[in-house]
Structure formats: C-alpha cells, structure tokens
C-alpha cells in the first residue's frame, strides 16, 4: 500500500476533530441543528488553516444518509465517498485553473439539475478569487437565486479580490492561524499515535516553522521524519529547517542588556559559524523582543507554551521597556536595510552596535549584573581622559549591608521579575512561618501569584523551612529599588556636571558653537 501523507491521513473528518476554529464550528453546528443553512458560504484565511477541510465536513453533514446533522456518521456511502473524493454530488473546482468564463458557464449549466445521489448538490470552489470578472458575473445570478438543492462553498486566501456583490451574497467566515502551542500539541498527539520517537524541542521547532498553518506543520513533520530516520532530534530538525537556535538569540539579548560590546561581537562570531540568513536572525530577534515587551506590559501574561518562559521572564526583567521597543524597531528596520550593507554579517553587526549606541540606560535590575564598560562608550567624543564616576557595584554593595532584608536579597539567587518584586519591598519582620513585606506602590505591577510564589520559595530556601508571605502596600517605603534609582540618578548628574565642566567641551562650544545632547550622556564605569 502506498504511503499516505500525514496531512491527508490526519485531516479532520468531523467537527469534533476540528481544533482551533471554534467560532466557525459553532456557527455551522447551530445552522445544521436548526435547519437554517445558508445557500452560500465563504471561508477565508491563509493556507493550511482548514478552509477546504471544513467545507468537506459541511458537505458530509448536508448529505449524510442518517439525515442532515452536525455529526455525520462517517460510515455511510455518502460520507465515505466524500472522504475519498469521489462523491458525485460534491463538485470540487480549482478556480486557479478554471478562470475563463466558458468554464464557469459550463459548471453552472448543471446547477438546475437535481442531485444524483445526495440530498444537496454542493459546489466547492477553491481559490475563488482567481476567477475572472466575467466569471464572477456569470456566477452572480446563480449565487443570488440558487435552486433549493444547491449549496455553494467558496474558499479563498485573498477575499479582498472578490467583488462586493459576491461577498454580500455569502456568509463569510474568517479562519484564524493556529497558535504555535496548539500546533505543538497536535503534532505531539500525531507523533505518539504514529509511534514516532521524538524530542520535544524538535516538535516545537516544527510548530514555530509552520507559521500558523496546520497543513504546513504536518508536511514539515513528514519531511523531518524522512530526514531524521528513526528518531526526531532537535539538531536534525534545526538542520533540516535551517532555523536558528533561539538560545543564541537570548545570548545576543543578554549581551545587549549588559551593554557588553565584546560579548555581542563574540555572539555574532558563533552565529557566523552556522552561516545563517541574517535577515532571518533579525526576524527571530524581533519576535523575541515582541514577547518580552508583552511580558513587561502584562507580567502575568500567559505566552505560548512552545516558548522558553523562564528566559523571556529573565530578559523582561533586565531589559528596560524603552530598550525592548527600540531594539524591536531597529531589528525590523535593519532587516529591511540589510541588503544595502557591504555584506550580511557586517550589516547585522552594525544593527546590534546601533542598539548599543542608541539604547537608553539599563534598568536597576541590570546595573548590578552589567560588566565594566570600556571608557570609549557613549561620551568618548567629549569625555576628558580623567573623567570618572562612582563604580556601579559600590552602591549595591553598600545597600546590601544596610538592612537585614538587603542582606537576605544578597544571599538569595533571585532573577527576573521575582527580583524586581523583592527590590521594591522592605522587610517588615518575621514571626514563625510568616514573613511580612512592605511593597512600594511603584512595584505593585510586579505582584502576581506566580511571582510571589517564586519569592516565597527563595525565602524558604534561605530560612531552611517553608515560609508564607504577607505583602502590604506602603506609601513611605525606602526600598532597594529606590536607593538604586537615586544612585543611578546621582551618577548621571555627576556625568553631566563633568561634561559641562570639561575644558574640551567648553572650547568646542566657544569655537564651533557646539552643544551637548543631554540624552547622549551616560555615566562611565572605570572600575
């Protein structure tokens, strides 16, 4: 027996097997149950989201020998013949290959005749937007006043090309792209049913590469199986798909967050060993930054299950929202301009260096972790050789020893948003298993159940026994976050004062009328 492609073998046969298009399924099921089935349906959406699949299920529901029903039996002659593509009263037409008006007229000449076997004669016209203007005119009258035994099911990826007169005569359903998490779940079910040995991350790569198309996902899965043989490994899947390891994108963002130019260039060197398409790397970078921005705006947002949640949460904590937005914009603009660069790698490096050059100051959570920056940073063109600023590590060190709470924070390895929540709190004392914290209103947006649980776990590890958190909001709390912010502002003011008093800057002002852009000044760490 010849091999049947997974996309055909696992095509849903009824509405209960259909996933991800509940809004369409609900409308069709209600119409079938009440007998109020319109004569013309238009299914729109990108490739592989189920347009023709839903149309065939609807054709079965209309012609099942058990009666018109939203749950066709699947075993009667009509159901089996529709599944096998040989039901005489289901006329499937590829409009892309039959665009001429004569083809349409020939098709419609048989509309007036009653169905040969079924309850309804169903016309399934795929890619209907490819019909010519004359063909649409020929179809229009029939769509407006069809015989009672005829149903039209139209499918298209480009509904904007359909005449308004056709759209107004159809019930239109827009099918959504499938989320990567839903595709991953479906691929896992199919792989288990097929007895395929696989690594979870391999299926996640396939789910992301499908870009919302279930059919593409199953076709890619077939391709990966052929490439990898007995077992689907992450490495084989990445090689076959030509996709980037997302951990490498995370490493680039870690280096950008730390303002470490050397680490950024080292990341590019490692990337270049794989000879990637740098346009795709920038697209992946933009996709990660978009997720980070979402988490920063809504910290408890549940992003796709096929994503590395912990890494996203960490980066959402160490990157400022301003940098996330700026880096995203630079990524998509850099992707557009990459073909103008002397070579792809040089263009990619310049995009990353542009992020370093124009990024805003790192947030407090990143200041502690940022390695010493080279003096030739943001203000090298105007900074005097002897300029210095207080080392960024000294303020956190002094703050950490100022109170019991700051000592606790120094000894717990908190990261991401849990660290942000803790830094916006002051210690209110411990009584038995209860730890009381006072929360600065500025940090209230970090307070979610999941983040509180992480903080409680860290404190339980510190005390060596389970503890319970009680957090109250306090308007007058002097927190580590506020102290860090004040220290950062003081360093910034010192840097500005140093620039203003620098004799070189004064000379350039007097001779050339130069001005210092305030937003370009950054404190330099010479430690």
- Per-residue pLDDT 10s for the chain (527 aa) are 567 888 888 999 999 888 888 899 999 999 999 989 999 999 999 999 999 999 999 999 999 999 999 999 989 999 999 998 899 999 998 887 776 777 778 778 888 889 998 899 999 999 999 888 888 888 888 888 889 999 999 999 999 999 999 999 999 999 999 988 899 999 999 999 998 898 888 898 899 889 899 999 999 999 998 887 768 888 888 888 877 778 889 999 999 998 899 999 999 998 888 778 899 899 989 999 999 999 898 888 877 654 578 888 889 888 988 999 999 999 999 999 998 998 999 999 999 999 998 876 444 444 444 443 333 333 333 333 334 333 333 344 334 434 678 788 888 878 878 888 888 888 888 888 888 888 888 888 888 888 888 888 888 888 888 888 998 888 766 788 888 888 888 888 888 888 888 887 877 777 777 777 776 777 765 54
pLDDT of residue 51: 93
Looking at the chain, the domain(s) classified CATH 1.20.272.10 span 246-367
Whole-angstrom Cα distance, residue 301 to residue 295? 6
* Tokens 């990261």 sit on residue: 415
Whole-angstrom Cα distance, residue 100 to residue 246? 48
Q: How far is CA 171 from the centre of its chain?
A: 31
State both tokens at 216: 């593409």
φ, ψ for residue 360, nearest 5 deg: -80, 175
pLDDT of residue 141: 83
Q: Using an 8 Å Cβ cutoff, are 412 and 462 in contact?
A: yes
Assigned fold of 246-367 = Zinc Finger, Delta Prime; domain 3 (1.20.272)
Q: Using an 8 Å Cβ cutoff, are 423 and 443 in contact?
A: yes
Q: Residue 498 contacts by C-beta under 8 Å, 6 or more apart in sequence?
A: 383, 384, 387, 389
Nearest Cα residue to 331 out of 319, 348, 343, 308: 348
The domain covering 6-174 belongs, at the CATH homologous superfamily level, to: P-loop containing nucleotide triphosphate hydrolases (3.40.50.300)
pLDDT of residue 100: 73
DSSP 3-state of 221? helix
* Check whether domain 180-241 has CATH 1.10.8.60, yes or no: yes
pLDDT of residue 366: 42
pLDDT of residue 375: 33
Nearest Cα residue to 117 out of 152, 80, 156: 80
CA geometry: angle at 416 spanning 413 and 417, to 5°? 115
Whole-angstrom Cα distance, residue 258 to residue 261? 9
State both tokens at 114: 């009653």
The domain covering 394-527 belongs, at the CATH homologous superfamily level, to: DNA polymerase III, tau subunit, domain V (3.30.300.150)
Whole-angstrom Cα distance, residue 521 to residue 493? 10
State both tokens at 399: 């703050």
Nearest Cα residue to 292 out of 354, 334, 250, 349: 250
Helix/strand/coil percentages in the chain, nearest 5: 55, 10, 35
State both tokens at 176: 């959504």
Whole-angstrom Cα distance, residue 239 to residue 310? 25
Whole-angstrom Cα distance, residue 482 to residue 423? 8
Q: Using an 8 Å Cβ cutoff, are 369 and 317 in contact?
A: no
pLDDT of residue 362: 42
Q: Using an 8 Å Cβ cutoff, are 322 and 276 in contact?
A: no
DSSP string, 93-141: EETTT--SHHHHHHHHTTTTSPPSSSSSEEEEEETGGGS-HHHHHHHHH
Distance linking the first and last C-alpha atoms of the chain: 72
Whole-angstrom Cα distance, residue 164 to residue 166? 5
Q: Using an 8 Å Cβ cutoff, are 479 and 424 in contact?
A: yes
Strand 425-431 versus strand 434-439 pairing type: antiparallel
DSSP 3-state of 368? coil
pLDDT of residue 394: 38
Nearest Cα residue to 387 out of 486, 491, 490: 491
């Amino acid at each position: 027996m010849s091999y049947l492609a997974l996309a055909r073998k696992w095509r849903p046969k009824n509405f209960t097997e259909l996933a991800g298009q509940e809004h369409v399924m609900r409308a069709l099921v209600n119409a079938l149950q009440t007998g109020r089935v319109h004569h013309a349906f238009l299914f729109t959406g990108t490739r592989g989201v189920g347009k023709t699949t839903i149309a065939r299920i609807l054709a079965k529901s209309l012609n099942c020998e058990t009666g018109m029903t939203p749950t066709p039996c699947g075993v009667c002659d009509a159901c089996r013949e529709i599944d096998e593509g040989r039901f005489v009263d289901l006329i499937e037409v590829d409009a892309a290959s039959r665009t001429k008006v004569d083809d349409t007229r020939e098709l419609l000449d048989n509309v007036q005749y009653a169905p040969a076997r079924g309850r309804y004669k169903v016309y399934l016209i795929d890619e209907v937007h490819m019909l010519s203007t004359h063909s649409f005119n020929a179809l229009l009258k029939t769509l407006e006043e069809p015989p009672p035994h005829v149903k039209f099911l139209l499918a298209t990826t480009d509904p904007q090309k359909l005449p308004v007169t056709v759209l107004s005569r159809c019930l239109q359903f827009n099918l959504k792209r499938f989320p990567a998490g839903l595709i991953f779940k479906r691929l896992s079910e199919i792989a288990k049913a097929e007895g395929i040995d696989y690594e979870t991350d391999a299926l996640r790569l396939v789910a992301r590469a499908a870009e919302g198309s279930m059919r593409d996902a199953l076709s890619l899965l077939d391709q990966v199986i052929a490439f990898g043989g007995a077992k689907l490994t992450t490495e084989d899947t990445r090689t076959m798909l030509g996709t980037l390891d997302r951990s490498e994108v995370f490493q680039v963002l870690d280096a950008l967050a730390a303002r470490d130019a050397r680490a950024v260039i080292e990341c590019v060197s490692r990337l270049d060993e794989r000879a990637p398409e740098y346009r795709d790397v920038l697209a992946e970078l933009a996709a990660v930054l978009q997720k980070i921005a979402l988490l920063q705006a809504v910290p408890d947002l549940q992003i796709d299950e096929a994503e590395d949640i912990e890494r996203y949460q960490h980066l959402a904590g160490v990157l400022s929202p301003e940098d996330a937005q700026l880096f995203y914009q630079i990524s998509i603009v850099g992707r557009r301009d990459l073909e103008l660069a002397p070579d792809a790698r040089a263009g990619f490096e310049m995009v990353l260096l542009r992020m370093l050059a124009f990024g805003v100051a790192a947030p407090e959570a990143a200041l502690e972790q940022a390695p010493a920056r080279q003096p030739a940073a943001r203000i090298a063109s105007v900074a005097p050789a002897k300029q210095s600023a207080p080392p960024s590590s000294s303020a956190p060190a002094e703050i950490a020893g100022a109170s019991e709470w700051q000592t606790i924070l120094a000894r717990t390895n908190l990261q991401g948003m849990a660290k942000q929540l803790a830094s916006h709190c002051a210690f209110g004392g411990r009584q038995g298993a209860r730890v009381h914290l006072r929360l600065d209103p500025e940090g209230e947006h970090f307070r979610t159940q999941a983040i509180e649980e992480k903080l409680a776990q860290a404190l339980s590890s510190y005390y060596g026994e389970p503890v319970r958190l009680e957090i109250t909001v306090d308007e007058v709390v002097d927190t580590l976050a506020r102290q860090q912010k004040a220290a950062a502002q003081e360093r910034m003011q010192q840097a500005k004062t140093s620039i203003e008093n620098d004799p070189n800057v004064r000379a350039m002002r007097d001779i050339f009328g130069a001005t210092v852009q305030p937003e370009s000044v950054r404190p330099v760490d010479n430690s």
